[in-house]
């Protein structure tokens, strides 16, 4: 079953192939937060996971998967889903929509069963085109007045790994970017120039339109 998505083209498949293929297993309990039309929830179900889909509204949701309507700005929304009962929690392009990213991460931590992982994606505002845009305009890529109006919480790599995760009781198991070496959201000639400009600059976040985080409970 193929469902439409509301994220960057190819992001869902990248997450499935590079990350969820290693964690989505038959019998594991999974929660897809911010499920939207339900593409990831369907993929988790197809992988054999005991899946629930969660979002603020059921509007547009398509799969035959249990759905829970829930507001993610509640301080303890995990209590309504089952704390400590999920081996896998996904939140694809969700955290930038919530008022308290740290609070959202704390709830993910509460949901995770021992050994469970959370898989999150979010726009990469630290990428090279993003830094160039901020230098020229003082606005954030994918977060300005021309972008999705419900994007309210940009996630900056340095603060995320140093402050957000520790305060939420989580740690980073793995970090990827999508696309791995390029920029899908920029026009092709501009993206090509930025790819060339990447060569002399090291670092894990200058490339890619989206972060992909794999998180686990901190010891």
Domain of residue 210, CATH code: 3.40.50.150
Structural domains in the chain (count):
1
Task: Record the pTM.
Answer: 0.93
What is the span of the domain harbouring residue 109? 11-217
What pLDDT shows up at residue 6? 54
Q: What is the pLDDT of residues 80-111, one digit of tens each?
A: 999 999 999 999 999 999 999 999 999 999 99
Residue 2 lies in a domain: no
Please indicate, yes or no, if residue 5 is contained in any of the structural domains: no
Is the residue at 84 inside a domain?
Answer: yes
With a CB cutoff of 8 Å and minimum separation 6, the contacts of 146 are none
Position 29 scores a pLDDT of 98
pLDDT at site 190: 80
Q: Give residue-wise pLDDT tens across range 200-210.
A: 777 789 999 99
């Amino acid at each position: 079953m193929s469902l439409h998505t509301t994220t960057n083209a190819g992001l869902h498949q990248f997450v499935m192939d590079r990350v969820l293929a290693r964690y989505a297993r038959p019998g594991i309990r999974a929660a897809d937060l911010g499920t939207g039309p339900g593409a990831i929830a369907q993929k988790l179900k197809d992988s054999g996971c005991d899946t629930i889909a969660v979002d603020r509204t059921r509007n547009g949701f398509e799969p035959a998967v249990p759905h829970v309507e829930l507001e993610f700005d509640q301080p303890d929304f995990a209590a309504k889903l089952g704390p400590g009962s999920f081996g896998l929690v996904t939140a694809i392009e969700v955290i930038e929509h919530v008022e308290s990213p740290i609070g959202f991460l704390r709830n993910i931590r509460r949901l995770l069963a021992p050994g469970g992982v959370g898989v999150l994606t979010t726009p990469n505002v630290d990428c090279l085109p993003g830094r160039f845009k901020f230098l020229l305009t003082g606005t954030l890529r994918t977060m300005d007045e021309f972008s999705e109006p419900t994007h309210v919480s940009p996630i900056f790599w340095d603060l995320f790994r140093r402050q957000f995760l520790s305060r939420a009781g989580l740690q980073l198991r793995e970090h990827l970017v999508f696309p791995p070496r390029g920029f899908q959201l920029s026009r092709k000639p501009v993206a090509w120039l930025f790819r060339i400009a990447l060569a002399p600059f090291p670092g894990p976040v200058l490339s890619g339109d989206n972060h992909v985080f794999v998180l686990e409970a901190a010891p």
